């Protein structure tokens, strides 16, 4: 049952007076002889203490020295705080590569911590982004001392599910990230600002793998990744999807505009259904707020106000979660494991599952009179199929790609009208709504399309069109056509033959209000957010210099019912009840 409530807020007790004791650069030995640097903050008291560990590639000193209320709250609650530079970063030895050493290093660090006189053997992990993802590798390692994790903005269990690849397309800003991370500390160069400048001269370099060289930079591990354009054994080193090997309760935290939203959408249901123990399955919690990657710090994003419940006491949630699993403190009765913020309604919903049991799949069918090109075209979205609807066509030129209005992460509901004015962006829009519609859950596109090329890309974006015309971005999906049957079995296209594509588009939690319209945008590029498909069908598209203009056809007739599938929650009193704050 869905419960609508003010907010999922808890208030953490303020930290007591006194100064934490800090120990610097404790060198932790790994099984291969490499030593990793770790700092620890000890709270007041004699100890030993339950310990919360963060493993970071962004400098442990910054992690501790930057004011973080959650760390003060944890210290005040009697936790030791440990922060470690991962392998090859800052004060730690070895060579860094994205995720590839985190399984063994995570286990070895946990075992070392548990043996320290100030640690009582009960360890949790906390962190954001990369610091969140490495928690899953540590959890999969099987250490009996890891009792709970709090991954905030974690990536999905597969490196092909969002970062660095999604739908077979490469997240282009990861090139910048790789170069920045290629040394022990951040490079003091302007590589990133040059790469993503508005004129984007270097981001247009071909082949895609040459972009770092075009800026006089280097990244050995990104170069290695770009030698593996299919999901082969190389990528298994960055996979933690063996849910049945993980027995760790987790508090998953993300936001609707978090670039790593697919992580929580993958990891929460995976663990809820398949974790190794009943305790781990029952110990999963999910919070999705109206937030971007750096979350829970403002009620307004891009001029949209989400109300006074948009910012919650997340620190209180985290302390309570660790208290339960590291100290054995009892949980509150009747706590719902899922809390999601519904945009537009500007309220929190609590439920016992995700996706919501009350949500029903509804199909919005694409239609037009054959001219859906741009937001000025005649593309429509209707709840009933339009059987005689003619196809829409456009040309995709890799040398003139559609510009992405954000690169790594959207900072909220940005206005999408500028790129959607192009004729190679098809727009399908509902009529203005005459009643509110609550759409809460996963979104996917079933697309019937043909291309003159042997390989191409399909990009889809869902936007909320406000009565003033602003088109507020909600979510997106992408699929490289060769991977329509799976990432391990690429198959080129037969030119001009229609295929049905299944394109996941993350999820939304929104009330589309009266007067709003729902819009789906379809195109074949989104640069420089993703690498451009050159349309040639090369064995390794990341190494391809040649380009071909592709003539694209989107079909939406009775035999080819292209449709957007959303989850609608009917506004029925039987589906809602008043609720206390959890």
pLDDT tens digits, one per residue of 509-538:
999 999 999 999 999 999 988 999 999 999
**213 membership: H or E segment, kind and range:** helix 211-214
Q: Which CATH class is domain 20-157+240-351?
A: alpha beta
Rounded average pLDDT over 20-32: 95
Kindly report which listed range (150-159, 333-342, 383-392) carries the lowest average pLDDT score. 333-342
CATH code, 360-569:
2.60.120.260
Q: Which two tokens stand for residue 133?
A: 């993802």
Q: Which of 259, 252, 421 is nearest to 340 (CA)?
A: 252
In degrees rounded to 5, what are phi and psi of residue 13?
-65, 140
Strands (E), 309-372: 338-342, 347-351, 360-367
Look at residue 207 and give its three-state secondary structure.
coil
Tell me how many degrees the CA angle 484-559-391 measures, rounded to the nearest 5: 80
| Percent of the chain's residues with pLDDT above 70 | 90
pLDDT band, very low/low/confident/very high, at 10 (cuts 50, 70, 90): low
Handedness of CA 226, 227, 232, 236 (dihedral sign): negative
Question: Rounded to whole angstroms, what are the CA distances from 90 to 82, 107, 181, 186, 346?
Answer: 16, 20, 10, 9, 42
Higher pLDDT, 571 or 399: 399
pLDDT band, very low/low/confident/very high, at 404 (cuts 50, 70, 90): confident
Whether residue 8 is predicted with pLDDT greater than 90 in this model: the reply is no
Rounded Cα–Cα distance for residues 473 and 477 (Å):
12
Q: What is the pLDDT of residue 197?
A: 54
Rounded Cα–Cα distance for residues 122 and 109 (Å):
13
Buried b (16+ CB within 10 A) or exposed e, 95-109: ebbbbbbbbbbbbbb
Provide the residue ranges of all domains of the chain, joining segments of one domain with +. Answer: 20-157+240-351, 168-233, 360-569
Q: Which of 323, 316, 321, 286 is nearest to 69 (CA)?
A: 316
Rounded Cα–Cα distance for residues 84 and 36 (Å):
7
Query: The pTM is what?
Result: 0.94
Q: What is the pLDDT of residue 572?
A: 62
Q: What is the pLDDT of residue 577?
A: 32
Q: What is the pLDDT of residue 578?
A: 31
Q: What is the pLDDT of residues 535-559, one digit of tens each?
A: 999 999 999 999 999 999 999 999 9
Strands (E), 203-279: 250-257
Q: What is the pLDDT of residue 342?
A: 98
Whether residue 582 is predicted with pLDDT greater than 60 in this model: the reply is no
Kindly report which listed range (200-209, 356-365, 414-423, 522-531) carries the lowest average pLDDT score. 200-209
Rounded Cα–Cα distance for residues 133 and 152 (Å):
8
pLDDT band, very low/low/confident/very high, at 238 (cuts 50, 70, 90): confident
Question: Rounded to whole angstroms, what are the CA distances from 276 to 136, 189, 281, 331?
Answer: 14, 45, 8, 21
Q: What is the pLDDT of residue 395?
A: 99
Q: What is the pLDDT of residue 322?
A: 98
Active site residues: 129, 258, 293
pLDDT band, very low/low/confident/very high, at 200 (cuts 50, 70, 90): low
Whether residue 226 is predicted with pLDDT greater than 80 in this model: the reply is yes
Rounded average pLDDT over 229-251: 92
Answer for the pair 392, 554: CB distance below 8 angstroms, yes or no.
yes
Q: What is the pLDDT of residue 486?
A: 97
- Rounded (10°) angle between helices 314-326 and 69-76: 40
């Amino acid at each position: 049952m869905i419960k609508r409530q003010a907010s999922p807020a808890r208030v953490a007790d303020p930290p007591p007076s006194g100064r934490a004791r800090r120990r610097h650069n404790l060198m932790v030995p790994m099984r291969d002889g490499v030593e990793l640097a770790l700092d620890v903050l000890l709270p007041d008291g004699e100890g030993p203490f339950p310990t919360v560990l963060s493993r970071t590639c962004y400098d442990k000193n910054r992690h501790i020295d930057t004011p973080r209320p959650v760390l003060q709250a944890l210290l005040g609650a009697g936790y030791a705080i440990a922060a470690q530079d991962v392998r090859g970063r800052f004060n730690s030895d070895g060579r860094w590569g994205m995720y590839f050493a985190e399984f063994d290093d995570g286990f070895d660090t946990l075992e070392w911590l548990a043996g320290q006189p100030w640690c009582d053997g009960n360890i949790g992990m906390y962190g954001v982004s990369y610091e969140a993802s490495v928690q899953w590798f540590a959890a999969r390692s099987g250490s009996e001392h890891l009792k709970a994790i709090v991954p905030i903005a974690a990536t999905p269990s597969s490196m092909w599910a969002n970062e660095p690849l999604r739908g077979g397309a490469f997240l282009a800003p990861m090139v910048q990230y790789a170069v920045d991370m290629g040394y022990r500390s951040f490079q003091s160069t302007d590589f990133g600002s040059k790469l993503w400048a508005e004129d984007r001269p270097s981001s247009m370099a071909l082949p895609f793998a040459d972009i770092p060289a075009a800026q006089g930079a280097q990244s050995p591990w990104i170069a290695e990744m770009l030698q593996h354009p299919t999901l082969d054994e190389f990528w298994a080193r960055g996979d933690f999807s063996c849910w049945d090997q993980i027995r760790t309760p987790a508090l998953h935290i993300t936001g609707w505009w978090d670039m790593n939203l697919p992580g929580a959408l993958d990891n929460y249901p995976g663990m809820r259904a398949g974790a190794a123990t009943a305790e781990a399955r029952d110990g999963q919690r999910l919070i999705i707020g109206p937030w971007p990657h750096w979350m829970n710090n403002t009620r307004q994003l891009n001029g949209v106000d989400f109300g006074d419940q948009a910012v919650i006491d997340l620190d209180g949630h985290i302390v309570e979660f660790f208290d339960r699993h590291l100290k054995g403190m009892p949980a509150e009765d009747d706590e719902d494991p899922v809390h999601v913020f519904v945009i537009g309604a500007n309220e929190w919903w609590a439920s016992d599952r995700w996706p919501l049991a009350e949500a029903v799949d509804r199909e919005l069918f694409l239609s037009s009179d054959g001219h859906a090109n741009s937001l000025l075209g005649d593309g429509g979205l209707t709840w009933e199929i339009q059987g005689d609807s003619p196809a829409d066509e456009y040309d995709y030129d890799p040398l003139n790609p559609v510009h992405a209005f954000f690169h790594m992460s959207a900072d909220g509901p940005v206005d999408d009208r500028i790129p959607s004015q192009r004729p190679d962006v098809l727009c399908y829009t509902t009529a203005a709504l005459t009643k509110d519609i609550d759409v809460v859950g996963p979104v996917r596109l079933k697309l019937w399309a043909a291309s003159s090329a042997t390989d191409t890309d399909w990009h889809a974006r869902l936007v909320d069109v406000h009565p003033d015309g602003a088109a507020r971005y909600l979510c997106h999906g992408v699929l490289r056509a060769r991977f329509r049957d799976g990432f391990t079995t690429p198959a080129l296209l037969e030119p001009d033959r229609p295929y049905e594509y299944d394109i996941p588009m993350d999820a939304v939690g929104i009330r589309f209000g009266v007067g709003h319209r729902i819009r789906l945008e379809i195109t074949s590029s989104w640069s420089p957010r993703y690498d451009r498909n050159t349309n040639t069908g090369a064995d390794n598209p990341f190494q391809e210099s040649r380009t071909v203009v592709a003539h694209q056809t989107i079909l939406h007739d009775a035999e080819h019912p292209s449709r957007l599938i959303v989850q609608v929650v009917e506004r029925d009193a039987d589906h809602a009840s008043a609720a206390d704050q959890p």
